[in-house]
Structure 1
């Protein structure tokens, strides 16, 4: 994001990443109208809720806070992928690196000693999620970690479950909403990307984080990571090929 942009403008840093979303839909035989319907439904569910922190201006404030923490302070950031292992995370915690897990990758924190796990949770700026990350994502919700929540055609039931869990908390997590359509949806953003892992990278770059400050931990395209949550392994491997393409056009 250039200096001329407002911190809450999440236009993709590489416009081709939006075009690639259309290629992905064509490859899998998905319809953009279904993606759009899920996005509109998510937006309505959030804005019709009784949680004041989910109001549109509050979501923009959440985005501004992330901008200050991640961009203004020039933080080094590690995106945690589904194949993250404890030793990789422990090495990252030896430095002042901020963590941005992709969905269920937060589950790896459960395998750390309690004192170190608490340190790791304090380093998490947000979780990028389409709400199918299982226990790791649910724990992030319970800990009120900001969620960059994504809507696509076949995750309506998942994001509804996540919102219900969030609303049951004394302190629900702050939200930023993303979609993957070619349309402009006020109140939502499309920074590019397809899977949670590459979408996390697209989100950070669109926010204004410099490429050189982003590292990838546990991002594999040859295996389905054990923190992938609920997934079809064969289909997931196909998706990982597209993740690799998205990361490639962003210089990773």
Structure 2
């Protein structure tokens, strides 16, 4: 999605959630400065790394995730797919002895597991927004093979492919990398959150608060946008 089109949705999100555009821009500027010093990937370089396939699996952190991982391990040759974990879904993959090729994160998942996956070869797509500027500052230098994204106007080394939550941004990233087929695993878009989505959750599952429900509504909306507007075969394992 081009930024000119995305900006319309972005303004709607800012108004709906009360987010600060200057805050998003400050976080993006900081991430760009860090990546300029530490080094980062371009989209073309990431494309070369994962260019072994045009088939992707995007793992969300919904309640169906573990069931879908088991199904995929039993019925699919996962070597044929680029595996993309949306933030906290990384933990479930590590539990199942799988290593994602890409992790899309705003750094609020289980950071130990994301670091482990990075050490095992996962490329990290770090997303800057106004609420995670402290984590951008303190955590970004620990990762290697990083591509930076923003939900505001792209600056410097950063990209904006469209999307709002880690899950639907991972889908837009897959499209940008030339995906022809995307399987959605653990992408429930429902009212239940998991320990993978919220690492501090006391139980495995809990009802989402109104803020999270609204975010999931946007995630589902943008997923449908991809189905309607991009030349990609999208398969949701929930269907």
TM-score normalised by L of structure 1: 0.76
1:224 to 179, 183, 193: 193
Distance 1:161 1:82, change over 3 A: farther
Cα deviations across residues 211-239 of structure 1 (Å, max 9, x unaligned)?
A: xx101100111122331135894122221
**Structure 2: unaligned runs, 5 residues or longer:** 202-207, 228-233, 235-239
Deviation at 1:208, TM superposition (A): 2.2
Deviation at 1:14, TM superposition (A): 8.8
Aligned partner of 1:27 in structure 2 is 16
Aligned partner of 2:219 in structure 1 is 243
Aligned partner of 1:4 in structure 2 is none
140-149 or 33-42, which moves further after superposition? Answer: 140-149
CA contact (8 A) 1:105 1:136 kept: no
| CA–CA separation in structure 2 for the residues paired with 1:39 and 1:231 | 26
Distance 1:132 1:81, change over 3 A: same
CA contact (8 A) 1:13 1:205 kept: no
1:103 aligns with 2:94: no
**Number of matched pairs:** 214
CA RMSD of aligned residues (A): 2.3
Aligned partner of 1:79 in structure 2 is 58
1:198 aligns with 2:168: yes
Distance 1:201 1:228, change over 3 A: same
TM-score normalised by L of structure 2: 0.80
Structure holding more strand per residue: 2
Cα deviations across residues 43-82 of structure 1 (Å, max 9, x unaligned)?
A: 112223xx4xx15xxx22xx33432354x54432110001
Distance 1:43 1:69, change over 3 A: closer
Aligned partner of 1:208 in structure 2 is 178
Aligned partner of 1:66 in structure 2 is 46
Q: Considering Cα pairs closer than 8 Å and 6+ residues apart, tell me whether 1 or 2 has the greater RCO.
A: 1
| CA–CA separation in structure 1 for the residues paired with 2:5 and 2:199 | 29
CA contact (8 A) 2:54 2:178 kept: no
Deviation at 1:204, TM superposition (A): 1.3
1:129 aligns with 2:115: no
